[in-house]
A = this chain, B = another copy of it.
Amino acid sequence: MRQDPVPPNDPVEQLVALLARIPGLGRRSARRAALRMLQDPERLMRPLSRALDAAAEAVSPCRVCGNLDSRDPCGICRDPRRERGLVCVVEGVSDLWALERAGAHRGLYHVLGGTLSALGGVSPEDLSIQPLVERVAKEGVEEVILALPATVEGASTGHYLADRLRPLSVPVTRLAQGVPMGGALDVLDDGTLAAALRARRPA
């Protein structure tokens, strides 16, 4: 993320510079947003300011799974309806939230906090891997689902985790790769097409 210096004096420029740090807002849209907000401060600025403070105060990483939540352990870890034997391993909290929005997973999660990367200098100690191994060893986990990105880093992290978990004799699975729902074949990349063809199933 580009980090513009914050001009110290002018409140408008200062607001624009800080809004421009929000991922998804460029400098130009930050200026437009600031202007729109300044025309309706009681509805667009004061409540947001309070919500930022409240969330910064209340939200912290769950000590069990790494989810960000206002409770610790988080709402998912506390939920008695979740299958406690099924742990889905994700790279980051945004993946966890995406799976929750999809309502696709009925078990618990484990957030790694990244993927292994020799080039990026990310080694196993930088990720929440040892806590995952301990969790699987101690808490009667029956299946570990690796929901990692379909990248080189995601794949090598998956291999590393499978190696580390092998002594515990717990089944380790990973997400299927293939044609996305509604996806036209002719715009798909070669890798996805090849993977979908290799993983073909009876119709």
Contact = CB atoms under 8 A, between A and B. Distances in A.
Interface of A: 6, 10-12, 14-15, 18-19, 21-25, 29, 31-39, 41-59, 68-70, 93-94, 97
A53 B93 CA distance: 29
B6 A47 contact: yes
A25 B12 CA distance: 19
A63 B22 CA distance: 32
Contact of A12 (B12, B46, B59): B59
Contact of A46 (B38, B42, B52): B52
B24 A33 contact: yes
Contacts of A33: 22-25
| Secondary structure type dominating chain A contacts | helix
B12 A70 contact: yes
Contact of A51 (B15, B24, B53, B58): B15
Contacts of A10: 70
Nearest to A54: B11
B14 A51 contact: yes
B44 A22 contact: yes
Contacts of A44: 21-22
Contact of A47 (B18, B41, B42): B18
A34 B55 contact: yes
A12 B68 contact: yes
